Amino acid sequence: MELFFATHQGRVTIGKWDLDAFNLSDGRRVLSKKTFREVLELSTNGGNTEALRKISNHPAIRGTALASAMSVFESPITFKSNRGKLTEGFEAEGLITLCKFILKAREANVLQSADLMRTARAAEGIIVSLANTGLIAMIDEATGFQAKRKKGSLQDIFDKFLRTDYEEWNKRFPDEFYQEIYRLRGWEWNGRSVNPPQCVGKFTNFIVYTRLAPGIMGELESRNPVLENGERLVKHHQWLSDDVGQPALSHHIFGVITLMKVSATWPAFIAKLVKAFPQYGDQAWLELEDLD
């Protein structure tokens, strides 16, 4: 069996909890088994864990995307810490899925013990805390994995650009933005009352949010995830702060529309866009051929 090792490690704070976090040699982000259980207040004798496994088969849970959440405990990851100590942990994103599963079970009134209700309160606290910053970004900052960034820099950006809760919907994207997309794509414009092609949302992410500020696209994905119905609870721009985020969005949209107007074709616009407004981060959210 292949033994992995931690390339970076540190402690990440989620609400009132501090968790031991690691970046492994294969790229996975892992939380130690001990702190993973502690944060959810799961008993060491496994009673709560077994009860939650049984709940996975409850009619209200079975068949949903969350039914397999407990499988995270079936695949502990053994690795060597930076100090050479053999350590066990679970993939970090499994914590989020597990919290959603527990809250779904509480919503369905299938948590029958005080211990499980206490675990549900802990899960709720984790989800609320994670609404302020993405787990992956937090781990990478805590462990020092993002060596090119100063510690806390992402959180500083998020605090300036984003709200702690979303605002009521207000029109932020002028019709002209979409009219120009339609023109460049060769589509007929029939007004905003007609639902645009699904790809327009991807275009907006690529044109606007990946270029607004470092880490903002990923943080918006974390705070405003896709729901089970395939839609998001609110529009991404509803998370932007009044003093920094919204003005930055307006300025960027104005610049983008200007580039659109002086472009005769979609490829010509994309070429101008990537030169005038480079994406932040190491990974592009969409390859150019995906936008064609």
Is the pLDDT at 166 greater than 70? The verdict is no
**What sign has the CA pseudo-torsion 26, 16, 70, 93?**
negative
Is the pLDDT at 222 greater than 60? The verdict is yes
- Reading the block at residue 170, the tokens are 């207000």
Among 28-32, 71-75, 153-157, 234-238, whose mean pLDDT is lowest?
Answer: 153-157
- Domain definitions of the chain by residue range: 4-143, 154-291
Task: Determine the pLDDT at residue 267.
Answer: 92
How distant, in Å, are the alpha carbons of 148, 253, 257, 261 from that of 189? 44, 19, 16, 16
Read off the pLDDT of residues 101-152 as tens digits, 9 standing for 90 and up. Answer: 888 888 888 887 888 888 888 888 887 766 545 556 666 667 766 554 555 5
Name the pLDDT band for 196 (thresholds 50, 70, 90). Answer: confident
**CA 232/CA 234 separation, integer angstroms:** 6
**H runs (alpha helix) in 22-134:** 33-39, 47-55, 92-107, 114-130
Name the pLDDT band for 44 (thresholds 50, 70, 90). Answer: low
State the average pLDDT over residues 242-263. 86
In one-letter notation, the amino acid at residue 25 is: S
Task: Determine the pLDDT at residue 224.
Answer: 80
Do residues 31 and 19 make contact, with C-beta atoms less than 8 angstroms apart? Answer: yes
CB atoms within 10 A of CB 197: 12
Name the pLDDT band for 287 (thresholds 50, 70, 90). Answer: very low
Is the pLDDT at 284 greater than 50? The verdict is no
Task: Determine the pLDDT at residue 282.
Answer: 38
Task: Determine the pLDDT at residue 137.
Answer: 62
Is the pLDDT at 235 greater than 80? The verdict is yes
State the average pLDDT over residues 210-215. 84
- Residue 260 or residue 14, greater confidence: 260
How distant, in Å, are the alpha carbons of 161, 241, 266 from that of 247? 10, 9, 26
Q: Which residues contact 278 (CB under 8 A, 6 or more apart)?
A: 211
The residue count of the chain comes to 292
Three-state secondary-structure class, residue 177: helix
Among 75-79, 80-84, 150-154, 286-290, whose mean pLDDT is lowest?
Answer: 286-290
- Residue 153 or residue 241, greater confidence: 241
Among 80-94, 98-112, 140-154, 160-174, whose mean pLDDT is lowest?
Answer: 140-154
